[in-house]
Chain A
Amino acid sequence: MRYCYSILLVFLWLSLIAGCDRPTVIKPSGKTIKIGVVGPLSGPDRAMGEDGLRGIRTVMQIQPYLDNGDKVELVIEDDKNEPDLSVKGLKKLATEDKVSAILLLSSSAAGLAVNELADSYQVPVLVLLASHPDIAKDKKYVSQLIFDNTFQGRVAALFARDELLIDRVAVFHNSDSFHSTSLASEFIHKFEAIGGVITEIIQLVDDTDDFKDILERLQKTKTQLLYLPVDPEDFIRISMALDEIGWAPERMGSDGLVANVLRQHPEETNLLEGAIDIDLYAQDIQGTPLGKRAGKAYQKLFDKPGNSFTGIGAEGYAILQQSMNSCTRPGDGQCINSMIHNMESFEGIMGRISIHADGKTERPLIINRIRNGRTQFMVKVY
């Protein structure tokens, strides 16, 4: 009898051992590879840079060394989200610091400025947050991790028309923002192409403050949805004006809206209630193994809640790390660039990501609705 129990115990023990996923221990080689990070760490857009950098540091904490034991050192340049400073930062990192690759956390204007230079320095640049469609276009050393505005604008229009069954939309955009204008343009183009009616296009300038008048006018035109790829401050002002006039049409924001409002205007979060949010992630979707590990590590390291900027920072660094690990010499910029441009089915935070040879990323876009200050997943569009 005791013999039987012993066999049983050994069997169970072996099953447990077999089921354990033990991390590989990497022996440090003593070498260091420099990776540059350019992003706004001061100024009004610093949330993008600070939160993105937290994501990068989270993945570095999970695996501090490359597979060959080389250590990765970050060289960080603050560009205040200003294109001139982004270009200056890129030059410094490429020429003085001799970094092997650069992660860019700035928005589209900075991204476009860097876009022009990356090839001449032959340093791979992974653009994390800039979604302008021209980023990576005809560039050998630039890749764009976020879906571009063409995809986002079209999906927004098709979702409104085909799933929300909306016929009449008003579009707001910030005239001084590449991101905002290109999204608005794509949306309008697609929505009209599929038979929808754009009731009005409202171009917001710095001194626009008559939101009540604009909205009352739109209400009379029987507008059903407001497409709002605008600054978080404008989204808040429009939502307040809607409350004031007692009108509740559907509102649809663009990528980064929730992260920006939660980070910069946490006291106004209630104004997002009920809005449709286009994003990279959703809070109620189960993450991939990388997502789960990163989530746990992030909670240990930082006391602030994570957001889309954190997530894309983590994903960007994880892709870079995998590319470096795939190269015989992990610091070889050309090899890293080649690996990034052939990244097939990389398991990101919430799903698979593929980066094609043209530097464009194929990744799902997630549409959420904001409920009780949290994103509630609606659909995922590939």
Chain B
Amino acid sequence: MTEHVDTALFVHVPETENLCRQLLENPFQVTVTPVAFSTFLEEPRALLTGTGHVVFSGPLEDFKCIIQLATQYGFSVGLVPMADQKRIAGCYDIPDQSAAAIDLALRRDGQMVDLILCNDEILLFKATIGRLPLFDVSSDSGPIALVGEAFKRIIGLRLLKFTFKTGEDTRIKTAACGCMIIQHHKHSLASRLIAHDSSLTDGMISLIVSAPFSITEYVKFLFQAYRKREDTRQLPSTIGYIKAPQIDIETEQEQVVTIDEQQVVHTPLHCTVLPQAMRINVGEALREKEKRAQVVKEIIKTENLPTGKEISKATKKKIPFFAYASEERFRDLFTSLRSDAKTTPAYLVLILLSTMLATLGLYLSSSSVVIGAMLLAPLMAPIIALAMALLRKDTKMARRSTGTIAVGIILALSASALISKIFPYKPITPEMLARLNPSLLDLGVALFAGVAGAYTKSFKEILQSLAGVAIAVALVPPLAVAGIGLGRGDLFFFAQAFLLFSTNLIGITLAATYTFRALGYSAVVGSKRSLAFVALIMLLISIPLYISYQQIVDKTNFERNWRQERFLVNDKYLIIQKADVVRYRDKEVLTIDILAREPLSRDDLAQLKRKIQTHFSKELVIRANVLYIP
């Protein structure tokens, strides 16, 4: 059974005067005395005689005056929000309909709530300092709208120096693009982050600090915040969180502080909480939530925020698109890459062994031996080192890695050519043929392998995946085939296989460079000219690769279509079971398997040949295998 107060004052502004009649005729037998807000401000003590409850309806700044008086005179407050005050209504869980809101506003069982004062200004919902794009955007927005809005707002975002001091005298120096104090602010991305920890009665102030190192990190954070379930406690990687009864905020330069969306004060900011300072009528759900609220201690989670030297580095420039990582932070990786760039005896031995294995595997047409050679091959390491050297304009490392790659290529070509020369058994196997038609698909493989290689090298915990990358891209077998071509004195053989190797080399270098860039190993691409040269070569080799790709597509379509071709030759019905087109020097050889029920004469075959030549534009050399069926 809900109880209502016996008497109440209804403090209104001219815009809400129309509610007087509804309140005066309330069905709860509450004696309501309407009074204008200005009159109430003049003599509150006199008007409050005989009643301890005030129902208010009016703008936010007037509501704050009522709250101030409530703390001074000890009356309880009921709120009937105006039509455009959905945010206030949401925060206090007040119903939208005026009748239901009046019912709630006239009740006796108000909830004691904390009051936050920042530089003596009342903070009801939130206060922001600096730029916090999208923090206050509704979490109900769709992901696409959110990303669009994010990009619009985060251009030119910069980190500022902040010092936060809590009531227990803990000082936190950091850099952040902004911070937000949240009292009870529902349905925003920021409020989602601490929804599990939000209360009106815990005697604490909640502060969220945002310190993204790059735009990509910031966008990542927005997605994390958007997808975050309210009951999870883990914070995104660019966010710091402080909860304390008192927080002081200082900035290097004076910053405007927006309290409840009004710019009223500047930093330094001193915020303190007045626990259980006033009684306000709130909705049932909020009341239940507050009942469950636990007493909490001071919380300081600032491990995601920059400290020490990072602060001055981070505040120097606008935040970059990709995160910048200092050399100190990735010292291990650079040490490893510098070592990879060197031509060591182990590298030479492995190149020799892997080439010999690959060459023999190719002659034997043994996939497993060829894969073994791929795993042994050490060529991937200097290529990845070269990518990093190009990115960071590390001339020394670039020279070393290029030299190592060149030595590897020469050694591999010589070894396979020599084996090919020495061995009397020189068949052209399917394993070799498979490496003679590089196409755009191979370039695609190389690009993805480059991304995978750089990514794998960047994280120690997944370094074992580098073997998979080596198999995927297969650097040594094309080199071995090219060497076999040299050994056979067949330049076409050599050129095609070497084109495949070059495709892999260039694709990996380019993709790995940009992967390292995206992973934050450099703020800018250091050696732009060298990289442009690599890109130009890639563009040039894309032309034969594209032509080759088109040939593969044509061949596939041609062969597939042929399976549905039939010929009526001298009244004999010939079914094409299989067709295969192989380019041999300047001619195309069509080999067809024909099913026939009757024996075919020479004349039949001549007729068939004529029909094929008539109907197909290509000049074909025709070979037919005839299979007679009963």
Interface of A with B (CB < 8 Å)?
1, 4-5, 8, 151, 154-155, 158-159, 162-163, 190, 194, 344-345, 347, 351-352, 354, 362, 364, 377-382
Q: Given the complex of chains A and B, what is the CA–CA distance between A296 and B200 in angstroms?
A: 69
Q: Given the complex of chains A and B, what is the CA–CA distance between A154 and B567 in angstroms?
A: 12
Q: Which of A1, A158, A194, A380 contacts B532 (CB 8 A)?
A: A1
Nearest chain B CB to A343 CB, angstrom units: 11
Interface residue B566 (Cβ < 8 Å from any Cβ of A): yes
> Which residues of B537-582 have CB atoms within 8 Å of chain A's CB atoms?
539, 564-568, 571, 573, 575
B564 and A151: CB pair below 8 A?
no
The interface centre, meaning the residue of A155, A158, A162, A382 with most chain B CB atoms within 10 A of its CB, is: A382
Nearest chain A CB to B319 CB, angstrom units: 26
B568 and A151: CB pair below 8 A?
yes
Nearest chain A CB to B602 CB, angstrom units: 19
Rank and list the top 6 A-B pairs by shortest CB-CB distance, nearest first: A158-B573, A381-B566, A352-B615, A382-B611, A379-B564, A382-B567
Q: Which residue of A lies closest to B573 (CB)?
A: A158
Q: Which of A5, A155, A351, A378 contacts B568 (CB 8 A)?
A: A155
Contact A162-B575, Cβ < 8 Å, known A4-B536, A352-B615: yes
**Contact partners of B611 in chain A: CB under 8 A:** 362, 382
B568 and A352: CB pair below 8 A?
no
Nearest chain B CB to A364 CB, angstrom units: 7
Q: Given the complex of chains A and B, what is the CA–CA distance between A192 and B524 in angstroms?
A: 81
Q: Which residue of B lies closest to A190 (CB)?
A: B571
**Contact partners of A381 in chain B: CB under 8 A:** 566-568, 573
B573 and A382: CB pair below 8 A?
no
**Contact partners of B528 in chain A: CB under 8 A:** 1
> Which residues of B515-534 have CB atoms within 8 Å of chain A's CB atoms?
528-529, 532-533
Nearest chain A CB to B538 CB, angstrom units: 11
Nearest chain A CB to B624 CB, angstrom units: 14
B617 and A352: CB pair below 8 A?
yes
Contact A382-B539, Cβ < 8 Å, known A345-B617, A352-B614: no
B536 and A382: CB pair below 8 A?
no
Interchain residue pairs with CB less than 8 A apart (15): A154-B571, A155-B566, A155-B568, A162-B573, A190-B571, A194-B597, A345-B617, A351-B615, A352-B615, A352-B617, A362-B614, A377-B564, A380-B565, A381-B567, A382-B568
B573 and A159: CB pair below 8 A?
yes
Interface residue B616 (Cβ < 8 Å from any Cβ of A): yes
Q: Which residue of A lies closest to B543 (CB)?
A: A15
**Contact partners of B533 in chain A: CB under 8 A:** 4
Q: Given the complex of chains A and B, what is the CA–CA distance between A344 and B575 in angstroms?
A: 25
Q: Given the complex of chains A and B, what is the CA–CA distance between A5 and B573 in angstroms?
A: 59
B529 and A382: CB pair below 8 A?
no
How would you classify the secondary structure of chain A's contact residues: helix, strand, loop or mixed?
Answer: mixed
Q: Which residue of A lies closest to B614 (CB)?
A: A354
Q: Given the complex of chains A and B, what is the CA–CA distance between A380 and B568 in angstroms?
A: 10
Q: Given the complex of chains A and B, what is the CA–CA distance between A321 and B215 in angstroms?
A: 63
**Contact partners of B536 in chain A: CB under 8 A:** 4, 8
Nearest chain B CB to A253 CB, angstrom units: 18
B571 and A382: CB pair below 8 A?
no
**Contact partners of B615 in chain A: CB under 8 A:** 345, 351-352, 364, 382
Contact A158-B614, Cβ < 8 Å, known A1-B532, A4-B536: no
> Which residues of B579-630 have CB atoms within 8 Å of chain A's CB atoms?
597, 611, 614-617
Q: Which residue of A lies closest to B595 (CB)?
A: A162
Q: Given the complex of chains A and B, what is the CA–CA distance between A1 and B532 in angstroms?
A: 8
**Contact partners of B571 in chain A: CB under 8 A:** 154, 190
A382 and B565: CB pair below 8 A?
yes
**Contact partners of A155 in chain B: CB under 8 A:** 566, 568, 573
**Contact partners of B566 in chain A: CB under 8 A:** 155, 159, 379-382
Q: Given the complex of chains A and B, what is the CA–CA distance between A347 and B539 in angstroms?
A: 35
**Contact partners of A151 in chain B: CB under 8 A:** 568
Q: Which residue of B lies closest to A354 (CB)?
A: B614
Q: Which residue of B lies closest to A364 (CB)?
A: B615
Nearest chain B CB to A152 CB, angstrom units: 10
Interface of B with A (CB < 8 Å)?
528-529, 532-533, 536, 539, 564-568, 571, 573, 575, 597, 611, 614-617
Q: Given the complex of chains A and B, what is the CA–CA distance between A382 and B572 in angstroms?
A: 11
Q: Which of B532, B614, B616 contacts A4 (CB 8 A)?
A: B532
Q: Given the complex of chains A and B, what is the CA–CA distance between A382 and B612 in angstroms?
A: 9
Nearest chain B CB to A379 CB, angstrom units: 5
B597 and A162: CB pair below 8 A?
yes
The interface centre, meaning the residue of A5, A351, A364 with most chain B CB atoms within 10 A of its CB, is: A364
Known: A154-B571, A344-B614. 7 other contacts (CB 8 A): A4-B533, A155-B566, A155-B573, A158-B573, A351-B615, A352-B617, A381-B573
**Contact partners of B617 in chain A: CB under 8 A:** 345, 347, 352
Q: Which residue of A lies closest to B532 (CB)?
A: A4
Nearest chain A CB to B595 CB, angstrom units: 8
**Contact partners of A382 in chain B: CB under 8 A:** 565-568, 611, 615
Q: Given the complex of chains A and B, what is the CA–CA distance between A379 and B566 in angstroms?
A: 7
**Contact partners of A1 in chain B: CB under 8 A:** 528-529, 532
Contact A163-B614, Cβ < 8 Å, known A1-B529, A379-B564, A380-B564: no
**Contact partners of B616 in chain A: CB under 8 A:** 352
**Contact partners of A378 in chain B: CB under 8 A:** 564
Q: Given the complex of chains A and B, what is the CA–CA distance between A1 and B525 in angstroms?
A: 14
Q: Given the complex of chains A and B, what is the CA–CA distance between A364 and B615 in angstroms?
A: 9
Nearest chain A CB to B390 CB, angstrom units: 15
Contact A345-B564, Cβ < 8 Å, known A1-B532, A162-B597: no
**Contact partners of A154 in chain B: CB under 8 A:** 568, 571
Q: Which residue of A lies closest to B608 (CB)?
A: A382
The interface centre, meaning the residue of B533, B571, B615 with most chain A CB atoms within 10 A of its CB, is: B615
**Contact partners of A354 in chain B: CB under 8 A:** 614
Q: Given the complex of chains A and B, what is the CA–CA distance between A1 and B571 in angstroms?
A: 69
Q: Given the complex of chains A and B, what is the CA–CA distance between A381 and B615 in angstroms?
A: 11
Nearest chain A CB to B472 CB, angstrom units: 29
Q: Which of B529, B565, B568, B575 contacts A163 (CB 8 A)?
A: B575
Nearest chain A CB to B151 CB, angstrom units: 26
B568 and A158: CB pair below 8 A?
yes
Q: Which residue of A lies closest to B563 (CB)?
A: A379
Nearest chain B CB to A195 CB, angstrom units: 10
Q: Given the complex of chains A and B, what is the CA–CA distance between A378 and B533 in angstroms?
A: 51
Q: Given the complex of chains A and B, what is the CA–CA distance between A155 and B567 in angstroms?
A: 9
The interface centre, meaning the residue of A5, A162, A163, A190 with most chain B CB atoms within 10 A of its CB, is: A162
Nearest chain B CB to A196 CB, angstrom units: 12
Q: Which residue of A lies closest to B533 (CB)?
A: A4
**Contact partners of A4 in chain B: CB under 8 A:** 532-533, 536
Nearest chain A CB to B592 CB, angstrom units: 13
Q: Given the complex of chains A and B, what is the CA–CA distance between A344 and B565 in angstroms?
A: 20
Q: Given the complex of chains A and B, what is the CA–CA distance between A147 and B606 in angstroms?
A: 21
Q: Which residue of A lies closest to B611 (CB)?
A: A382
Q: Which residue of A lies closest to B529 (CB)?
A: A1
Q: Given the complex of chains A and B, what is the CA–CA distance between A175 and B84 in angstroms?
A: 85
Q: Given the complex of chains A and B, what is the CA–CA distance between A284 and B536 in angstroms?
A: 41
Q: Which residue of A lies closest to B565 (CB)?
A: A380
**Contact partners of B575 in chain A: CB under 8 A:** 162-163
Q: Given the complex of chains A and B, what is the CA–CA distance between A139 and B533 in angstroms?
A: 69
Q: Given the complex of chains A and B, what is the CA–CA distance between A159 and B597 in angstroms?
A: 12
Nearest chain A CB to B431 CB, angstrom units: 34
Contact A8-B539, Cβ < 8 Å, known A1-B532, A158-B573, A352-B614: yes
Nearest chain B CB to A42 CB, angstrom units: 37
Q: Given the complex of chains A and B, what is the CA–CA distance between A158 and B566 in angstroms?
A: 11
Q: Given the complex of chains A and B, what is the CA–CA distance between A159 and B568 in angstroms?
A: 10
Q: Given the complex of chains A and B, what is the CA–CA distance between A95 and B326 in angstroms?
A: 94
Q: Given the complex of chains A and B, what is the CA–CA distance between A347 and B617 in angstroms?
A: 9
Q: Given the complex of chains A and B, what is the CA–CA distance between A155 and B573 in angstroms?
A: 8
Q: Given the complex of chains A and B, what is the CA–CA distance between A377 and B575 in angstroms?
A: 16
Q: Given the complex of chains A and B, what is the CA–CA distance between A4 and B616 in angstroms?
A: 43
Nearest chain B CB to A289 CB, angstrom units: 11
Nearest chain A CB to B124 CB, angstrom units: 56
Nearest chain B CB to A20 CB, angstrom units: 17
**Contact partners of B565 in chain A: CB under 8 A:** 379-380, 382
Q: Given the complex of chains A and B, what is the CA–CA distance between A3 and B409 in angstroms?
A: 31
